[in-house]
Amino acid sequence: MTLQRSVMREQIKELVIQRILEGTYKPGDRVVELQLVQELGVSQAPVREALRDLEAMRLIETEPYRGARVREVTPEELTESYPVRAALEELAGQLASTLATEETFTLLEAEMQNMHDAAEANDQHGLLVHDARFHEVIVEAAGNSVLLDSWGGLRIEAFTLVSVIKSQLDLGAIAQTHQPIVDALRQRDADLTGKVMRDHIEHFGSTLFGGTTHV
C-alpha cells in the first residue's frame, strides 16, 4: 500500500471500496474514522472526505455524530434493481446495436472467454466481475454518458458480489447466456438487441432469486 498516484482522499476511497468488495468490511460493519486515521497514518480530513464520496456512491451510510457503516444490501433492494437494470440495458442494447464497432465485439468476446474460463475454474467471483464488465462494455458502446452514469449508479458489481457470493449457480450456463446478446448486436437490430438484453437481465434476476429463495 505504498502507491500515491493521486490525492490522499482518492487512495483512501479506493482502499475502503476494495475492502468492502473483498468482504473485509461486511455489510453492517462500522467504519470508524479514527481507526483508519491511525492505520493509514493520515489526518481525519481526507478520511472524512473519502467517506462522503462513498456515501454518495451508496456503499456506506452515515448519520450525524453516529458514524458510517457499510450499507446493507437488502434482498428487496436487489430485487428492485433488476427491473431498473432491465430498462436501462434494454436502452443500451438498442443504442449499441447501431454504434458497436469491431473493437466493441473484440472486448465482448474477450469477456465471454474470461467468463468461460472462470466457470471452468469454478471461480464465481471472477465470473461475476467479467459478467459486469461485459455489460459495461455494451453500456459504454451505447454512446450515452448519462445512461452510463445511471447504470454505473446501480453498482452492479458491488451488489451482485455482496449478495450472490453464497449461492450456488451454474456458472457455465451463465457464461453461455451472453452469446445471444452478441449475436443480436452483430445483426444491428435495435429492437431485437434491446429485447434480448432485457430478457437476459430478467432471466438472471429470477435465476438469482430461484437460487437464493430464502432471505
Partner DNA sequence: TCCTAAGCGATTATCGATAATCTAGAGCGA
Partner DNA sequence: TCGCTCTAGATTATCGATAATCGCTTAGGA
Residue 1 contacts which entry, DNA, a second copy, none (Cβ below 5-8 A, type-dependent): none
What the block records as the C-alpha cell of 182 is 452478441
Q: How many residues does the chain have?
A: 215
List binders of a second copy among 150-179 (CB under 8 A). 150, 153-154
- CA atoms of 81 and 209, how far apart (whole Å): 13
What the block records as the C-alpha cell of 158 is 458491488
By CB under 8 A, which span of 30-38, 76-84, 116-124, 127-135 interacts with a second copy?
Answer: 76-84
List binders of DNA among 25-44 (CB under 7 A). 30-34, 41-44
Residue 192 contacts which entry, a second copy, DNA, none (Cβ below 5-8 A, type-dependent): none
Backbone dihedral region of 60: left (phi > 0), alpha (psi from -120 to 50 degrees) or beta?
beta
DSSP state of 30: E
Which residues face 67 on adjacent strands?
A: 63
Binding-site ranges for a second copy (CB under 8 A): 6-7, 45, 48-49, 52-53, 56-58, 64, 77, 80-81, 83-84, 87-88, 90-91, 95, 144-147, 149-150, 153-154
